[in-house]
Structure 1
Amino acid sequence: MEVRYSGELAEQIDYIAKGLADLTLSKDNVMAALKAQSTYNYMPVVGYPTYTAFFISTREKPRLDKAYFLDKKIGLLDYPTSRSGHIIPKQMFKRLDLDMRVLDIQYVSSHQVLREKLSSGELDIIATYWQESDESRFSANYITPIGENISGSRWYMKMDVDNTDLACALQQQLQQVAKNNGSSYFDELDLYWQCNELPVYFLGETDES
């Protein structure tokens, strides 16, 4: 088994567009843009829950008005397909009629880096999602929602053949991994395969054992 990890959008797109991945974690808008389902029959196995995007600060509740952002150090993700960390905050700036060129924006590689830079004072505001561990670092009074009901990422499997047993096994495994993560975010996963749970026998066992 070969596992590849990359935060580079171009590499992810190239890998999916060529059908090189047997199992991949991606967003529905990326898969739709690449027509991955019709071209290589990528099918969703497990989907993560919808969530809300926020502006988060450590000093005050962010205000959604034009003047507020002009003197702020803002953190976004350097990942154009990230909705909470890139797409939605940029859409918000556009709605506020803000010229991106006059804003002090720092692009970073991950949501974790955003949080670290906000905690250290390197940034005044970050765009991200809210998670349980944030309660010990930031105040829930200093967050402002900027987008709701955002669809989570999904695990997609390339179905070269109608291998339902493999899809069901992967779904069960991914569900178990999510539960072991320890976050309530993963408690309500979207499961795309209706799988029959069959009894598991050990060697030499039967129904009469």
Structure 2
Amino acid sequence: MSGKTLAEDVATSLCDDLTISKQYGKVTSYWGYKTSDSIEFLGKGIADLILAKENLIDAFMAQSTYNYQAVVGFPDYTAYLISSKEKPRIEKSYFLDKRIGLLDYPTSRSGHILPKQLFKTLDINLENLNITYASSHTELRELLASGKVDLISSYWQDSDQASFSVNYITPIRDNISGSRWYLKMQDENTDLLCAVQARLTDLARNQSSHYFNHVESFWDCKSDANKQSVEVINASK
């Protein structure tokens, strides 16, 4: 997963679950912002549970190869150009004299892929741009707030209004699918799936971020005392 605090919270929550503790002797969590980390875990099927973007799952055919199944996911969102002093304009001339903050994370859509696609569409050579790369969305906001860059590419969250103005954001693309938690289902282990889903859902709803509070469960774990069936919800997403 992407952050140390989240990794610690997930490990603690899973360890506290009776169903999970019956099946596993311990839970080990790993975190990091590098694309290579996700590639290593997905490409070799190392992780039993992983937070990843759908496009990365598709790229490595992780669902067909290791039967990674989406358990919970976060809402679709919009990618924005965010400035601290003016509303960004989608014009070639606008970007040429600006200091731009992007994520050093090639699979990030809002922080890397979409802004670079925008520059390509505007026929801008990246070598002609003054780009500073950050390791996280939080670091991007710190760069912008400190005046080290003129604008960044990221998502917008409610807490951003404390430091920036909603009048100074410009959308790049909307309806971007959010990240999802994927569980490797080598067996029809529905007890494990439902326990993991319940724990991840509770964790998400206790987050301070309005975005992460709106978690979606993909499996219907309401069943009788014998837990005879589990059905997929919204499997087409």
Same fold (TM over 0.5): yes
Tell me by how many angstroms 1:186 deviates. 2.9
TM-score norm. by structure 1 comes to 0.92
Q: 2:211 aligns with which of 169, 176, 185?
A: 185
Corresponding residue SS for 2:219 = coil
Tell me by how many angstroms 1:165 deviates. 1.3
Separation in 2, partners of 1:183, 1:71: 33
2:85 paired with 1:59: yes
* 1:207 matched residue in structure 2: none
What CA RMSD, in Å, does the superposition of the two structures yield over aligned residues?
1.1
2:35 paired with 1:16: no
* 2:57 matched residue in structure 1: 31
Corresponding residue SS for 1:112 = helix
* 1:93 matched residue in structure 2: 119
Task: Summarize deviations over 1:17-47 as a string: whole Å, max 9, x none.
Answer: 1111000000111011101111111100001
Task: Summarize deviations over 1:96-120 as a string: whole Å, max 9, x none.
Answer: 1111110000111000000001000
* 1:4 matched residue in structure 2: 30
Q: Which ranges of structure 1 fall in alignment gaps of 5 or more residues?
A: 200-209
Q: 2:104 aligns with which of 68, 78, 97?
A: 78
State the aligned residue count. Answer: 199
Separation in 2, partners of 1:122, 1:28: 32
Tell me by how many angstroms 1:169 deviates. 1.0
* 2:184 matched residue in structure 1: 158
* 1:203 matched residue in structure 2: none
Task: Summarize deviations over 1:132-179 as a string: whole Å, max 9, x none.
Answer: 110110011100000100000000000111111111111111111011
Larger radius of gyration: 1
Tell me by how many angstroms 1:183 deviates. 2.4
Corresponding residue SS for 1:173 = helix
Q: Which ranges of structure 2 fall in alignment gaps of 5 or more residues?
A: 1-26, 226-237
* Structure 1 moving runs of 4+ over 4 Å: none
Q: 2:147 aligns with which of 121, 124, 133?
A: 121
| Identity value in percent | 55
Separation in 2, partners of 1:113, 1:176: 27
TM-score norm. by structure 2 comes to 0.82
Corresponding letter in the other structure for 1:5: W
* 1:195 matched residue in structure 2: 221
Corresponding letter in the other structure for 1:20: I
Corresponding letter in the other structure for 1:97: D
* 1:134 matched residue in structure 2: 160
2:181 paired with 1:175: no
Q: 1:40 aligns with which of 41, 47, 66?
A: 66
Q: 2:75 aligns with which of 49, 63, 88?
A: 49
